[in-house]
């Protein structure tokens, strides 16, 4: 009986080990997700020489949705400002507290040519320093000034992010005006409405797109 029992246990061990091995071999990576977002509204109060204030619009790349959560957001937008959920507050009025590990940088190229994340370039928000700089020509846009007063995304500027929970995303801002008109008019078209593409890498630790 002892011999039979030992043989049974050995057989069971081999079968379980084989199942575990098969489970490991069949695990597959999730495909990257390509998304298009239109008219994400990021309003602000003040401006025109007055202090700027107001709640930020928070966005989660995994869900592709805005969120009111204090923790599950990746970027926060207000006017032309883009914040990340990582680091510390920068000193801007009404900005959300950072609770995640998000970081960012701006890459030169196209969505097709940026095929992986250069992790050495990732930066978190910090006091008086944003990972995505704000200001005409220093970040993602150009402000034309008089007479058009247009805000136009700079071609070839791709925003690369580490999300609040350690995944990776690349993003191209296409328009700052509602419905993304081909020839926007700052006096006629509603502004602070983001249209953008992004590619989300859902696999833990994978920096390739």
Tens digits of residue pLDDT in 131-150: 999 999 999 999 999 999 99
Predicted confidence at residue 26, as pLDDT, reads: 57
- Quick: pLDDT tens for 20-56: 444 444 568 999 999 999 999 999 998 777 889 999 9
Cβ atoms 132, 84 nearer than 8 A: yes
pTM, full prediction: 0.86
SS3 state at 162? strand
Pick the closest to residue 88 from 78, 77, 105, 102 (CA basis): 102
Distances (CA, A) of 206 to 85, 106, 129: 20, 19, 27
Cβ atoms 178, 120 nearer than 8 A: no
Poorest-pLDDT segment among 10-14, 69-73, 120-124, 155-159: 10-14
- Quick: pLDDT tens for 171-192: 999 999 999 999 999 999 999 9
């Amino acid at each position: 009986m002892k011999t039979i029992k030992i043989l049974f246990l050995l057989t069971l061990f081999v079968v379980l080990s084989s199942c575990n091995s098969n489970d490991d071999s069949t695990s597959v990576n999730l495909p990257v997700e390509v998304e298009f977002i239109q008219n994400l509204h990021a309003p602000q109060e003040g401006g025109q020489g007055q202090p700027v204030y107001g709640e930020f619009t928070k966005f989660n790349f995994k869900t592709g949705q805005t969120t009111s959560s204090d923790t599950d957001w990746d970027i926060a937008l207000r006017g032309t400002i883009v914040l990340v959920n990582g680091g510390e507050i920068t000193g801007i009025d009404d900005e959300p507290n950072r609770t995640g590990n998000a970081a960012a940088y701006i890459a030169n190229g196209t969505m097709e040519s940026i095929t992986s994340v250069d992790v050495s370039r990732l930066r978190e928000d910090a006091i008086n320093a944003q990972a995505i700089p704000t200001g005409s020509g220093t970040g993602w846009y150009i402000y034309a000034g008089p007479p058009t007063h247009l805000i136009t995304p700079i071609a070839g500027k791709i925003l690369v992010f580490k999300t609040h929970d350690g995944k990776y995303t690349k993003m191209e801002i296409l328009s700052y005006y509602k419905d993304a008109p081909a020839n926007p008019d700052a006096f006629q078209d509603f502004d602070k409405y983001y249209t953008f593409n992004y590619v989300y890498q859902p696999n833990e630790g994978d920096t390739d797109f």
